[in-house]
């Protein structure tokens, strides 16, 4: 079956068309089209996402991107395309942005007489990590993870440890009490004078510090690393950077040292909590999702954790780590039973646990 996925929860307008079939190999996915229009440049002057601007951009761009994905999939842009269902992000995210995608999805579903499937964005981040490339460039198989699995979700708005005893059933066993990991990257980067989004910037400067073998003289804290629970806290790290850098003229090397220390402090906390959760819940596989896992340093640190427990690690392709609609179309497929007519709303704070 062919599914159109629509993602507008934050500052990416994304549409994707997947052809999914179940055969003796399991669930096979062919990516017919996957387009993302990032608004990063527009939001950069604000140092973060400006919701009203994001909404206006989504509204402006959905139609043109739809035309592009239909053309890429070699479907008609004037007659009803052979799409069997439309999947759209219901939440979590910026409510006014979510609504633009939902209204658009409902209109298309009505016009094409196909069902519309509301999708949880974070479930999309988990499922896209289970795609493994086979054969040709656009062909994938969906891995059935060893259970119970642990998913670490690290994005701009979320930091969660999710216990999965069955795919589709999610239990949050740990989360941040304040800032999300991505938010911590973005806010500390800003304190160092680096542009939005801060994650990739910190990562770039941190790797330069490692190349030059320079480190910060006074280490930054690793908040809650010794707490017995599986919760996180990152606002203290941000505050430490604020006080340490306040009224100082940072040299390029200082910025590199801070970036390295920030990345390493975050990585230490994340890997420590993941190890605790693996032990506590006798975890058999590890699935990581969310924009922050585009970070290569964190990817290799988590690989070491998985290796030390001798369990498989499932990471998304780097290009599928940050927000996209491929993950929404995929989650739509796994939620076909939740077909809705017209009666669902945007849920800005929607939780993955159901």
Give all strands (DSSP E) within the chain, no chain letters: 2-7, 12-23, 26-38, 85-91, 116-120, 131-133, 139-142, 149-154, 159-166, 169-175, 285-289, 313-314
* Candidate segments 46-54, 102-110, 217-225, 284-292, binder of ligand KG4 by CB under 6 A: 284-292
For position 155 contacting Zn ion by CB under 5 A, the verdict is yes
- CB nearer to Zn ion: pick between 123 and 323: 323
> Under rule CB under 6 A, which residues in 164-203 are in contact with ligand KG4?
182, 185-186, 197-200, 203
Q: For the chain, what is the largest distance between any 2 Cα atoms, rounded to a whole number of angstroms?
A: 65
Using CB under 6 A, pick the residue from 81, 118, 145, 156 that binds ligand KG4: 156
Give all strands (DSSP E) within 39-183, no chain letters: 85-91, 116-120, 131-133, 139-142, 149-154, 159-166, 169-175
For position 11 contacting Zn ion by CB under 5 A, the verdict is no
For position 159 contacting Zn ion by CB under 5 A, the verdict is no
Strand partners, 164: 149
Cα gap 217→258, rounded to integer Å: 10
Give the torsion through C-alpha atoms of 282, 287, 293, 296, to 10 deg: 80
Give the torsion through C-alpha atoms of 121, 123, 126, 127, to 10 deg: -100
Residue 288: count of CB within 10 angstroms of its CB:
26
For position 151 contacting Zn ion by CB under 5 A, the verdict is no
Using CB under 6 A, pick the residue from 114, 192, 294, 326 that binds ligand KG4: 294
CB of 76 to ligand KG4, least distance (A): 32
For position 323 contacting ligand KG4 by CB under 6 A, the verdict is yes
- CB nearer to Zn ion: pick between 154 and 237: 154
Cα gap 76→297, rounded to integer Å: 43
Using CB under 5 A, pick the residue from 65, 323, 329, 350 that binds Zn ion: 323
- CB nearer to ligand KG4: pick between 70 and 326: 326
For position 19 contacting Zn ion by CB under 5 A, the verdict is no
Q: Say which residue the tokens 């975890």 belong to.
A: 283
- Name the DSSP class of 232: B
Using CB under 6 A, pick the residue from 81, 101, 118, 291 that binds ligand KG4: 291
CB of 92 to ligand KG4, least distance (A): 8
- CB nearer to Zn ion: pick between 160 and 323: 323
Residues near ligand KG4 (CB under 6 A) are: 10, 155-157, 182, 185-186, 197-200, 203, 290-292, 294-295, 322-323
Residues near Zn ion (CB under 5 A) are: 155, 323
């Amino acid at each position: 079956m062919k599914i159109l996925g629509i993602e507008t929860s934050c500052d990416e307008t994304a549409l994707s068309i997947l052809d999914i079939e179940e055969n003796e190999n399991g669930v096979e996915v062919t990516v017919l089209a996957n387009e993302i229009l990032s608004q990063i440049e527009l939001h950069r002057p604000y140092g973060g996402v400006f919701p009203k601007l994001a909404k206006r951009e989504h509204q402006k761009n959905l139609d043109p991107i739809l035309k592009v994905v239909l053309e890429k999939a070699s479907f008609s842009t004037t007659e009803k395309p052979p799409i069997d269902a439309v999947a759209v992000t219901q939440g979590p995210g910026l409510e006014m942005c979510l609504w633009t995608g939902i209204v658009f999805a409902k209109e298309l579903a009505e016009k094409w007489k196909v069902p519309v499937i509301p999708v949880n964005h974070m479930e999309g981040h988990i499922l896209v990590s289970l795609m493994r490339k086979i054969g040709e460039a656009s062909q994938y198989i969906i891995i059935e993870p060893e259970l119970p699995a642990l998913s670490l979700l690290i994005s701009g708005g979320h930091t969660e440890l999710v216990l999965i005893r069955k795919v589709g059933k999610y239990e949050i066993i740990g989360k941040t009490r304040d800032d999300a990991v991505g938010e911590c990257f973005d806010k500390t980067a800003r304190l160092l004078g680096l542009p939005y989004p801060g994650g990739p910037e910190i990562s770039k400067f941190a790797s330069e510090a490692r190349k030059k073998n320079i480190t910060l003289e006074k280490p930054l804290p690793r908040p809650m690393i010794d707490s017995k629970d599986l919760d996180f806290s990152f606002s203290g790290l941000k505050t430490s950077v604020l006080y340490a850098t306040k009224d100082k003229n940072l040299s390029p090397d200082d910025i590199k040292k801070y970036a390295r220390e920030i990345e390493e402090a975050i990585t230490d906390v994340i890997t420590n909590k993941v190890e605790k959760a693996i032990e506590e819940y006798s975890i058999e596989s590890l699935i990581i999702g969310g924009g922050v896992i585009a970070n290569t340093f964190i990817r290799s640190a988590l690989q070491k954790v998985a290796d030390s427990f001798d369990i498989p690690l499932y990471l998304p392709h780097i290009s599928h780590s940050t927000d996209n609609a491929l993950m929404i179309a995929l989650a739509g497929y796994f939620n076909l039973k939740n077909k809705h007519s017209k009666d669902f709303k945007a849920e800005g704070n929607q939780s993955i646990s159901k």
